[in-house]
Amino acid sequence: MFNCEKYNVTSKKHRSFKKMGLKVVSLALSASIVLSQGLLTFAEDGVKKHTTGEENLVCATGDKELTPESKKWMEENMIKTNGKSIRLNELGLKRVNEHRKSKKQKQLDRKVIKQIGDEVAAEMPDSESTSIPTSLRSNNITVDQEANEITLPNSVDNSELQYFPPIRTQGDIGSCTAFSSTYYQMTHMAALEMGWNVKDNNDNSNKFSPKWSFNLVNGSTDGGSEIVDICKLLQRHGAAFWSDFPYIPSKSNPLNYRAWPTDASTWEKAINYRLDKMGYISLLDGTNTPITSPDSAILKPVKELLNNGYVLNYSTLFNSWKYTTIKDGPFNGERAAYLMDGYEGGHAMTLVGYNDDIWIDVDNDGERDIPQEIGAFKIANSHGTSYANNGYCWVAYDALNKISSLDPTGTNTAINPAKRGGIFKDRLVWFTVRKNYTPKLVAEFTANHPHRNELAVTLGYSSESDSSSPIKWSPYSFFKAGPYAFDGTETACDASFALDFTDLYTGTDNKNGKWYLKLSDTSASANGFSGVLKDFKLIDKQKDQVISFTGQYPPPFDRSSVEVGISHSKDIFRMSGWNILKNLPAKRFGAGVIGLNELVYVIGGTSYVSNGYTTSKVYSDEVLVYDTLSNTWYNRTKLPVPLAEAQVVTLNGKIYAIDLTSGWSAPNTLYEYNPGTRLWTQNYENLPVKKKSFMVSLNNKIYFIGGYNQYSDMIEYDPVTKQINSKANIPVPVKDFAAIAANGKIYILGGDTADGTQKRIQNVQEFNPVANVWNQKANMPKGKNLFKAATLNNKIYTFSSDSAYSSTNLSDNGYPDTIEEFDPVSNSWVTKGNMFYRLQNYSLGTHNDRIYFAGGEEPGSLTDLNVFASYNPAPIVNEVPGLAEAESFDSASDVCIIENCNEGGKYLDSMLDGDSMDYYFDVKESGVYSVSFRVSSSFTGNKLSIMDGANTLCTVNVPNTGGRQNWTTVSTNITLGKGPQVLRVLNSGNGACFNWMSFQLSSKVITVPGKIEAEALSSANQYYPENCSEGGQKLSWILSGDWMDYNVYVQESGIHTVAFRVARAYSSAGGLQLQRDGAVLCSLDIPSTGGDEIFTTVYANVYLKAGFQTLRVLSTGHDWNFNWMEITK
């Protein structure tokens, strides 16, 4: 029930107008009616003028209607926030507790607040309080205990925070969507994350430029833009500051909306501010009047995000707004929109606050209609400070309804005119910005082309043994270019760009590889306009290295492509289990993949062939074989006929293949391959199973599951006796599922309902072929269809979906790319990670301890791939300190001979010159280690080295021990940083044998991020440690000129926050500096804290490069104490 007292308003029968005479009320009503009219006129240039009653404004708009493709992208890539729990962040909790304090209610516990970007929970929990550790509990009420009872403040205004930039104008350019999302929303969200103060209107170094986002997506026309295009751009490229790419609010010079930045520094700086999380809130619930009071449920997620400090982008038909004037209270005389009557002026604006106490006289009768007329949102417009309330305006909650809550029947045409619609067009968009983000690897290049819209740019990556990229990353800006040079003119010019390689960098565990830049001229016909690649380099932000392409640059290209690559090693930040292997010899999708006898077979499949005008499919009869020991591809005997979508299984040392594609004209013929004779034979012609059925093998039998129009069928086939049997029907008929055999059973996973509703289901159905019975097992985490599954070590792994239609199951950002593991024994699911790359129609198969992925398509395009990769869900990770067996490598460069060892276990026998093995390591502490190798040899001149990419970390000589198993131990020192990493053992010479290596910590190095006690210094000119009141020790009576050095290992390059815990008994000038190699990273004053044991914390942000280094704390003042410093990222 609506609470009048809660919202500081009175009902009609208690309204303040009751003592007013009829004449006064009538006059006020007449005036309000006049003032409420939003009049539309046209300027000479065709731009509409809009009046809110006081002034005429030249109001460019420019928000484009979302296309069906854009709506689908939102559903698949943004978090639909309706129905999800939104928890409190630091600011949100502060506001709620201030409100509770005013109500004399108990404070909520701050220990369970969420970080910005993590407030939106995956599901709406009943309660999560049981998951809170006891150590985090207090006498305060936890957020979780009152998750459903949190009372938000009556009003929030984020425009008053230091994070929201000043009101500015888009002028007569149709850049409203860019202005709202980039200048207002992104500036605010970045400032909120980073703590910036952006209120100074003369400082453009901390405000993002709408020119960046508008010019890069508008197709070089002043025709507006849509929010999805801008989100894609900001997600991939970040945003440029206004100072780097100034916005000029006039279309009189077309370069103001056509020019692109042509210097790499602008692009590179923008990368640091890529979007992180994205989501949207729908204001449609299927009714015409979802809002009847400030307490209406559909408003709750919007208010919760605003309370947390967020601002949101929304679309409207601005030129059809109707206005009135607020008549009392603190906002008396301010302008408010109370309905939208028409379809004119697609416009994007920014939602900055709400107020549940404002009364807006929607029906202009001078009476407070409670609760329908109570409450409004505050919005920021991009029409300068002359608009409405100094650039802001109120929007009545009731205006969001298609039919006003004051007239639910819709008969009052004054408030329910024929063209009335909800003033917000369905979706409100929110996003967050990556905090202190630093790219791992950047591609910088210079190119020239007279028509940038004809230039396609892709980044790529391959294993070190290849010369072309099987996986690619495409910038978004080049998709939205117009037929102009990079600077927006009609004369070709050079331009330098910087693009972020990080998305390809972090997806796999390959230490060494090649990084590519590909430029393509995509003109449909010869027009004499060619492109030129003039420079390409890599900027490694982790290693502070610049690696330039040293080969010969290709000649100008017209209706063709050029690709250049640079070999470079990378750091490993997590163990993903993924490795890119040598490319498939041919591009394809829909092939069958199966492992047998140290070989992986890729059988049949489909490829695309283009003649320049049309693209068609070609079906393959090829059989490609990958040797897992030598990383080499071979051809085997071709199939008797091409198989477009081959399904393959192994039984009794043979391979069986069939194509059950729907619409495939060939009969359901099962083919049999004998690897001994390398011959294919026909096992069964026209097998009586259904098209689109799924083939698996178990217990020397082949099973065909489901199929077109027979979704419950289960057919068992014996390929030796040719006997066919029907088994128990599938309990829940499904299609587009995945099926796999594991642990002696067959499992049907997920799929679509077979009744035509295309509802994804989570069911896991288990079939016992011996007992001929079905059982239901634990549901999948989410429903999936058209996905892939594999079994390894009696566990089942599910991979990303190929689904082409939208579904609410896709509303969780990134879910289609996740990997889940199912354990049939414990009947439980866990999430393992993500796909290394977004693929569609890929193929997979298992061999030994790996799952192999072959080919596929780029989602949403007719582009086939030749990618070949392996996934190890449980890689061997060797802990340091500790012992690593020689045979525990993850991959090797060539065939490794593994033999039984006379000391127990296995060893690598008689290695050849250049042999190398890559090992996963998890280093527990940074420091100097003693590393010992157990080796033998019958020869001299052998060496073993541990390599980190191209860097040699240590080398030992392998002596002639007089025999292959006459073992000896040789040792040296190695410096290793904390964390996961892939290191390579490289053999030099012929004949060395390798049993194991062990690591023992000799001396520690402090790891950053981490806490560094003041007394943990490596050296100092002088220092005085004493016991500290906060525990441990402190350094006391530090004088000006004193210095303390700390040896640290920084895990990742980037901006770090350094917190210094200090005390000072009395005021004194000076403080401290943090230095590295003589360079000052930051300077801070140390305030008087009132006592030697009264500590405070002072902060600074510094850029730290990855690796081992010495940080110096230099005192620039007298008489202060130092407890610790903590460095976070």
In tens, the pLDDT along 519-571 reads: 999 987 778 889 999 999 999 998 889 999 999 999 999 999 999 999 999 88
Tell me which of 1004, 1021, 1041 is where a domain ends.
1004
Contact 1070, 1115 (CB under 8 A): yes
Q: Which residues contact 13 (CB under 8 A, 6 or more apart)?
A: none
Q: Do both 986 and 1038 map to the same domain?
A: no
Question: Strand, coil or helix: what is 3?
Answer: coil
Angle at 338 between CA 336 and CA 341, to 5 degrees: 125
- What span, in angstroms and rounded, lies between the C-alpha atoms of 1120 and 1062? 7
| pLDDT reported for residue 128 | 30
**Is residue 92's pLDDT more than 90?**
yes
Count of structural domains, the chain:
6
| pLDDT reported for residue 574 | 75
At position 1081, the amino acid (one-letter code) is: L
| pLDDT reported for residue 250 | 95
- What span, in angstroms and rounded, lies between the C-alpha atoms of 1126 and 1056? 10
pLDDT confidence tier of residue 133, bands split at 50, 70 and 90:
very low
Q: Do both 537 and 585 map to the same domain?
A: no
Query: 988 lies in which domain range?
Result: 877-1004
- Which tens digit of pLDDT belongs to each residue from 908-928? 999 999 999 999 999 999 999
CATH of the domain at 219: 3.90.70.10
Q: Do both 190 and 316 map to the same domain?
A: yes
**Is residue 808's pLDDT more than 80?**
no
And the tokens for 1023?
Answer: 């220092």
Burial of 968 (0-12, 13-18, 19+ CB in 10 A): middle
Q: Which of 1041, 1051, 1009 is nearest to 1113 (CA)?
A: 1041
- Which tens digit of pLDDT belongs to each residue from 357-369? 999 999 999 999 8
Q: Which residues of 1112-1127 are buried (b: 16+ CB within 10 A; e: fewer)?
A: bbbbbbbbbbbbbbbb
- Which tens digit of pLDDT belongs to each residue from 386-444? 999 999 999 999 999 999 999 999 999 999 999 999 999 879 999 999 998 999 999 99
Angle at 1026 between CA 1021 and CA 1027, to 5 degrees: 150
And the tokens for 384?
Answer: 């300068």
Q: Do both 425 and 458 map to the same domain?
A: no
Is residue 703 included in any domain, yes or no?
yes
Report CA torsion sign: 1009, 1010, 1016, 1022: positive
- What span, in angstroms and rounded, lies between the C-alpha atoms of 334 and 353? 15
Name the percent of the chain lying above pLDDT 70: 90
- What span, in angstroms and rounded, lies between the C-alpha atoms of 770 and 774? 11
**Is residue 146's pLDDT more than 90?**
no
- What span, in angstroms and rounded, lies between the C-alpha atoms of 983 and 26? 84
* Rg from Cα positions in the chain: 33
Contact 393, 335 (CB under 8 A): yes
Is residue 990 included in any domain, yes or no?
yes
| pLDDT reported for residue 897 | 86
CATH of the domain at 504: 2.60.60
Q: Do both 350 and 432 map to the same domain?
A: yes
The larger pLDDT score, comparing residue 1086 to residue 834, is at: 1086
**Is residue 123's pLDDT more than 70?**
no
Q: Cβ of 337: how many Cβ atoms within 10 Å? A: 26
Is residue 572 included in any domain, yes or no?
no
Is residue 573 included in any domain, yes or no?
no
Contact 689, 659 (CB under 8 A): no
Is residue 151 included in any domain, yes or no?
no
- What span, in angstroms and rounded, lies between the C-alpha atoms of 174 and 165? 20
| pLDDT reported for residue 353 | 98
And the tokens for 795?
Answer: 């566990």
- What span, in angstroms and rounded, lies between the C-alpha atoms of 213 and 240? 9
| pLDDT reported for residue 514 | 96
- What span, in angstroms and rounded, lies between the C-alpha atoms of 1098 and 1103? 17
Question: Strand, coil or helix: what is 1023?
Answer: coil
Q: Do both 1112 and 1024 map to the same domain?
A: yes
| pLDDT reported for residue 141 | 42
- What span, in angstroms and rounded, lies between the C-alpha atoms of 35 and 332? 14
Token look-up 């393509």 returns: 520
- What span, in angstroms and rounded, lies between the C-alpha atoms of 73 and 230? 13
Token look-up 């459903």 returns: 148
pLDDT confidence tier of residue 10, bands split at 50, 70 and 90:
very low
Strands (E), 727-809: 734-735, 738-742, 745-749, 752-753, 764-768, 773-777, 787-792, 795-801
pLDDT confidence tier of residue 83, bands split at 50, 70 and 90:
confident
- Which tens digit of pLDDT belongs to each residue from 281-316? 998 888 999 999 999 999 999 999 999 999 999 999
Q: Do both 617 and 484 map to the same domain?
A: no
Is residue 14 included in any domain, yes or no?
yes
Mean pLDDT of 979-992: 93
And the tokens for 450?
Answer: 């007279």
The larger pLDDT score, comparing residue 1129 to residue 451, is at: 451
CATH of the domain at 1063: 2.60.120.260
Query: What is the rounded (10 degree) CA torsion for 230, 234, 235, 241?
Result: -170
Q: Do both 323 and 471 map to the same domain?
A: no
Mean pLDDT of 754-774: 90
CA 732 to chain centre: 35
- What span, in angstroms and rounded, lies between the C-alpha atoms of 671 and 682? 5
| pLDDT reported for residue 26 | 33
Q: Do both 826 and 940 map to the same domain?
A: no
And the tokens for 575?
Answer: 């163990």
Report CA torsion sign: 199, 203, 208, 214: positive
Tell me which of 989, 1004, 1019 is where a domain ends.
1004
And the tokens for 260?
Answer: 């692109």
pLDDT confidence tier of residue 1059, bands split at 50, 70 and 90:
very high
Q: 3-class secondary structure for 319-354?
A: HHEEEEECCCCCCCCCEEEEEEECCCCEEEEEEEEE
Q: Do both 125 and 196 map to the same domain?
A: no
CA 573 to chain centre: 16
Respond yes or no on whether the N-terminal peptide bond of residue 371 is cis (omega within 30° of 0): yes
Mean pLDDT of 852-876: 91
Is residue 387 included in any domain, yes or no?
yes
Q: Do both 998 and 1020 map to the same domain?
A: no
And the tokens for 74?
Answer: 């939102």
Angle at 681 between CA 678 and CA 685, to 5 degrees: 155
- Which tens digit of pLDDT belongs to each residue from 463-520? 998 999 999 999 987 767 889 999 999 999 999 999 999 999 988 999 899 999 999 9
- Which tens digit of pLDDT belongs to each residue from 872-903? 998 899 999 999 999 999 888 776 788 999 99
How would you classify the pairing of strands 392-396 and 335-341? Answer: parallel
Mean pLDDT of the residues in the chain: 88
- What span, in angstroms and rounded, lies between the C-alpha atoms of 798 and 816? 10
| pLDDT reported for residue 895 | 67
CATH of the domain at 821: 2.120.10.80
- Give φ, ψ of 174 to 5 degrees: -80, 55
Contact 790, 846 (CB under 8 A): yes
Beta bridge partners of 561: 520
The DSSP result for 630-661, as a single string, is TTEEEEEPPPSS--TTEEEEEETTEEEEEE--
Contact 395, 337 (CB under 8 A): yes
Question: Strand, coil or helix: what is 34?
Answer: helix
pLDDT confidence tier of residue 199, bands split at 50, 70 and 90:
very high
The larger pLDDT score, comparing residue 85 to residue 156, is at: 156
- What span, in angstroms and rounded, lies between the C-alpha atoms of 680 and 637? 8
Q: Which of 343, 381, 346 is nearest to 226 (CA)?
A: 346
Respond yes or no on whether the N-terminal peptide bond of residue 881 is cis (omega within 30° of 0): yes
Burial of 332 (0-12, 13-18, 19+ CB in 10 A): exposed
Contact 88, 150 (CB under 8 A): yes
- What span, in angstroms and rounded, lies between the C-alpha atoms of 1116 and 1129? 26
- What span, in angstroms and rounded, lies between the C-alpha atoms of 836 and 214? 31
At position 134, the amino acid (one-letter code) is: T
Q: Do both 59 and 10 map to the same domain?
A: yes
Tell me which of 871, 905, 927 is where a domain ends.
871
**Is residue 31's pLDDT more than 50?**
no
- Give φ, ψ of 303 to 5 degrees: -65, -40
- Give φ, ψ of 5 to 5 degrees: -60, -40
| pLDDT reported for residue 651 | 95
Q: Which of 687, 684, 737 is nearest to 712 (CA)?
A: 737
| pLDDT reported for residue 30 | 34
Query: What is the rounded (10 degree) CA torsion for 351, 353, 359, 363?
Result: 10
CA 486 to chain centre: 29
Q: Which residues of 938-959 are buried (b: 16+ CB within 10 A; e: fewer)?
A: eeeebebbbbbbeeebbebebb
Burial of 696 (0-12, 13-18, 19+ CB in 10 A): buried
- What span, in angstroms and rounded, lies between the C-alpha atoms of 696 and 737? 13
| pLDDT reported for residue 101 | 93
| pLDDT reported for residue 782 | 84
Contact 951, 1005 (CB under 8 A): no
Q: Is 700 left (phi over 0), alpha (psi -120 to 50) or beta?
A: left
Is residue 575 included in any domain, yes or no?
no
Mean pLDDT of 25-37: 32
- What span, in angstroms and rounded, lies between the C-alpha atoms of 585 and 620? 13
Mean pLDDT of 174-199: 97
